[in-house]
Every structure is written in C-alpha cells, then in structure tokens.
Amino acid sequence: MLLSRGIKHTKAPSYSLRTSRFIDRDFQLKYTSVVLTAALIGILVTIFPIYYFLSQNYNIFVDLAYEQAPQILHYLERERSWVNILLIAGCTGTLCFFWYLSLKLTSRIVGPIQVLKNHIRGLSRGQWAQAPIRIRDSDEFQDLIDSYNYFYDSFRVNLQRDLELLKKFSIDPKNRDAYLAWRSLIEEKAYQLGRRDLLPEPEIIPLSVDGPSEESDQRHVS
C-alpha cells in the first residue's frame, strides 16, 4: 500500500499465535450451543421414528423365527446390536461434526472483530506504532479490514506529515512557553508513531528572558 511507505511498524496484531481454540469463549460457546441444540433436535426427530419402526420389524422377525427357524435368532440379535451401535455412533459423530463446524465458523466471524477491537483499543491509548491488521484469507469481513487498514495508514501518513511540518517551524528558545509547547507536540506525535528518530535535538532552554535583567537594572538605578 502506497500510504504505508516510509512508516515503520512494530508488530502485526493477529490471533494466529493463540494457544486456545477459543477466540471469544462466550460468543463461540453461545452460538455453538445453539447449533448443537438444533442438531440434537433434528437427530431426535429423525432417529426416534427410525428406531421405532426397526423395533417393530425386529419383533415381527423374532416371532417368525420362533415359529419357523429358531436357529436364526442369534443372527437377529447380533444385527439388532449392530444397528443400535450404528445409531449411537451416527448421533455422536453428527454432534461432534456440528461442534467442530460451529467453532470454525464462529472463529472466522469473531476473529476479525476481536483483532479489530484490540487494534482500536490500542489507538485509543495513543499506540499509533501498531502494524495494520492481518487476518486469515478464510476469515469473514475482509472488505471491512481492508477499509480499516486504508484509513489507519492514511491517518498515520497525515500524522507523520504534521510532525514533519512541526519540525520545520523555527521557535525561539527564549520564548520558553511557545518552545516547550512546540517540543511537547513533536514528542507526543513522535512517540505515537514510534519514530524516536524524529524527536527534536535537545537544547538548553533559558530559565529567564531579558525582562528580569531590565528590572534588576531599574532597581539598581533607583
């Protein structure tokens, strides 16, 4: 980006190095629980009729086996056990899938927002030496982050231009109040930008001007 040319950045705010799976635990758990509840309701609505009709058919086959072929009762029981295991495994796998999917989707949503919030919080504390925001390509709000980075770099460039203009002013050190205000503005903007190289050279500020000496001369004459 052209606006960021000539500006030194310190570090890039990112959540890619986080040690926890959660970026915003409350937000992610809230909406993950909503998705899991909906998935569980869907599973129960689907599984209960299936299990009911399978049980009815199994009872019919068992009755026929007792009358016609008792030797197949063992196979029927084994098939019933496998069906129960498959149903339980299917339900558990579905819930685990929705759990993982919910965490991934919520992290793509809340991740950029969290990074943006932290970046703005740093700006409110005068930390204009932060690098632009970086998020993953798979995250949401790409346009929002790009627009914010453009605004941030533009403001930094303007801030640096103001600093350079302030340094071009020639303030008489004898005018102590104006000189201190000028240095204070330059130092504040330089520290905000993280540009210590733009700080003004230290100078000796006189403690008094010609006024007190004239007053002393008048007292001497009197």
The count of residues in the chain is 222
pLDDT in the model for residue 100: 92
pLDDT in the model for residue 114: 87
Q: Which residue has the higher pLDDT, 17 or 191?
A: 191
Domain boundaries, given as residue ranges, for the chain: 20-125, 126-208
Q: Is the confidence at residue 218, as pLDDT, over 50?
A: no
Output the CA angle 16-124-198, nearest 5 degrees.
90
% residues pLDDT > 70 (the chain):
76
CA atoms within 13 A on the CB side of 198: 25
Q: Which residue has the higher pLDDT, 184 or 196?
A: 184
Q: Which of 185, 145, 133, 181 is nearest to 163 (CA)?
A: 185
Q: Which residue has the higher pLDDT, 183 or 4?
A: 183
The CA R_g of the chain, rounded to the nearest whole Å, is 36
Are the C-beta atoms of residues 115 and 15 closer than 8 Å to each other? yes
What 3-state class would DSSP assign to 139? coil
pLDDT in the model for residue 211: 45
pLDDT band at 36 (very low <50, low <70, confident <90, very high): very high
Q: How many CB atoms lie within 10 A of CB 103?
A: 18
**CA 181 – CA 200 distance, rounded (Å):** 13
Q: Is the confidence at residue 15, as pLDDT, over 60?
A: no
pLDDT in the model for residue 195: 65
**CA 25 – CA 110 distance, rounded (Å):** 10
pLDDT in the model for residue 212: 46
Q: What is the residue whose two structure tokens read 């980075």?
A: 149
Tell me what the mean pLDDT of segment 101-128 comes to: 87
Q: Which residue has the higher pLDDT, 218 or 113?
A: 113
The pTM is what? 0.59
Most confidently modeled range among 92-101, 156-165, 210-219 = 92-101
Q: Which residues contact 205 (CB under 8 A, 6 or more apart)?
A: 173, 176, 179, 180
% residues pLDDT > 90 (the chain):
15
**CA 17 – CA 75 distance, rounded (Å):** 54
**CA 16 – CA 107 distance, rounded (Å):** 11
pLDDT in the model for residue 215: 46
